[in-house]
Amino acid sequence: MQNDVESRIPLFSTSGSLHDWLAANQQPKFRAQQIGQWLYQNRATGFDSMTNLPLAIRQQLAESFDFWTTEIAKHLKSNDGTEKLLVKLDDNSHVECVLLRDGHRRTICVSSQVGCAMGCVFCASGLDGVKRNLDSHEIVEQMIRLQHCLEPQQRLSHIVMMGMGEPLANVDNVLAALDVATAADGLGISPRRVTISTVGLPAAIEKLAGYGKPYNLAVSLHAPNDLLRNQLVPVNDKIGIQAIIDAADRYFEISGRRLTFEYVLLGGVNDSTDCAMELSELLRNKSALINVIPYNPVPGLPWVSPSEKSIANFGDILRRNKINVKFRVRKGSDIAAACGQLRRQQVTEISASQSIGQTQ
């Protein structure tokens, strides 16, 4: 039964249910287009505002669909223009997402899972393991919620899948959500402005390559050898750096997109001259960018940020070895914008002002 409360459909469902519903209700084809326009261009927040739809249809839509399945539990704004949302899902769990303003860029950082199973020892998102994958409509809703934070004349320009969770452990839902983000009648963001960040799951990287959209791939490496990486990124034990590099190389061959390797610099752990030399060797002659991210302290964890001197030394060695290197700029530090931190605060009820943060 369409109007049964039990069968209400998430409006941002990616399975074609809106089209099916319109067909079942004998609506002309252009209705889907009109509704899409309201959702993705006009930033509607309810069916009432869809004034070019007959009132009866608006009412029926409201009976059949949930406009939102999420709520905004917290909305934090940083002095540097960064905004962070703590989003409450319909099972009462929480995820985070961020809007970053940088020149003309309006980048959003979106979560793919509640928690994370990868267990990277320095990351706040995975401290309590993974609860579940996000459904594709929950990923799209984060994007739309962040779009609504923009000034009316501004548009979202970039998406990074660098929020909570491992996107390639939920690859089907992530790809379905990104289809909406990149569709001309969706958010209209070029796939070349979308980056999927992964701990490095070779089978899923292959799948992504086969999907055929020129998304950017960022691999979180964090160590130049398996001995160290096994300690920092426990899932590496079963995978190994070489298998990840091979999959990333194939991704580059197929997509033509320059690879990014992320390297969180932990003071006294992976920031030595030897590590920088070994990393240079590993990435020599690759069309790759290495994105060095000085560790952003997570309350309760034993790791420390690297010293200015070791950051500079690490960068110098990479550059001398002709590796393209970029340092990640801190943003949103006053609103705990690093992934997983705000949700953790919610759980542990630490006040936002006590926390230090960094965005992706």
Nearer to ligand SAH, 13 or 125 (CB): 125
Query: Would you call 96 a catalytic residue per the annotation?
Result: yes
Least Cα distance to 345 among 129, 94, 149 occurs for 94
77 token code pair? 């704004």
Residue 95, beta-bridge partner list: 87
Nearer to ligand SAH, 156 or 219 (CB): 219
Question: Cβ 194 to ligand SAH, closest distance in Å?
Answer: 14
Query: Taking every pair of C-alpha atoms in the chain, what is the biggest distance, in angstroms?
Result: 69
Whether the CB-CB separation of 337 and 357 falls below 8 Å is answered with yes
The strand pair at 71-77 and 83-88 is best described as: antiparallel
108 binds ligand SAH (CB under 6 A): no
Please pick, among 6, 63, 96, 349, the residue that the annotation labels catalytic.
Answer: 96
174 binds ligand SAH (CB under 6 A): no
Nearer to ligand SAH, 50 or 174 (CB): 174
Question: ∠ CA(177), CA(180), CA(185), 5° rounding?
Answer: 175
166 binds ligand SAH (CB under 6 A): yes
Question: H/E/C letters for each residue in 36-55?
Answer: HHHHHHCCCCCHHHCCCCCH
Please pick, among 97, 109, 120, 339, the residue that the annotation labels catalytic.
Answer: 339
Number of residues that bind ligand SAH (CB under 6 A): 20
345 binds ligand SAH (CB under 6 A): no
Among 264, 283, 323, 335, binds ligand SAH (CB under 6 A): 264
120 binds ligand SAH (CB under 6 A): yes
Residues 6+ apart with CB under 8 A from 313: 271, 273, 276
**Binders of ligand SAH in range 35-74 (CB under 6 A):** none
360 binds ligand SAH (CB under 6 A): yes
Choose the stretch contacting ligand SAH; rule: CB under 6 A; options: 96-104, 114-122, 174-182, 277-285: 114-122
Question: Cβ 57 to ligand SAH, closest distance in Å?
Answer: 40
Measured CA to CA, the distance from residue 199 to residue 230 in angstroms comes to 12
Whether the CB-CB separation of 318 and 290 falls below 8 Å is answered with yes
**Binders of ligand SAH in range 273-292 (CB under 6 A):** none
Nearer to ligand SAH, 31 or 222 (CB): 222
122 binds ligand SAH (CB under 6 A): yes
Helix (H, G, I), strand (E, B) or coil at 265: strand
Measured CA to CA, the distance from residue 151 to residue 278 in angstroms comes to 46
Q: What are the phi and psi torsion angles at 358 (to 5°)?
A: -155, 145
Burial class (CB in 10 A: 0-12, 13-18, 19+), 308: exposed
**Binders of ligand SAH in range 177-236 (CB under 6 A):** 197-199, 220
Catalytic residues: 96, 339
Footprint of ligand SAH on this chain (CB under 6 A)?
118, 120, 122-123, 162, 166, 197-199, 220, 262, 264, 293, 295-296, 298, 338-339, 358, 360
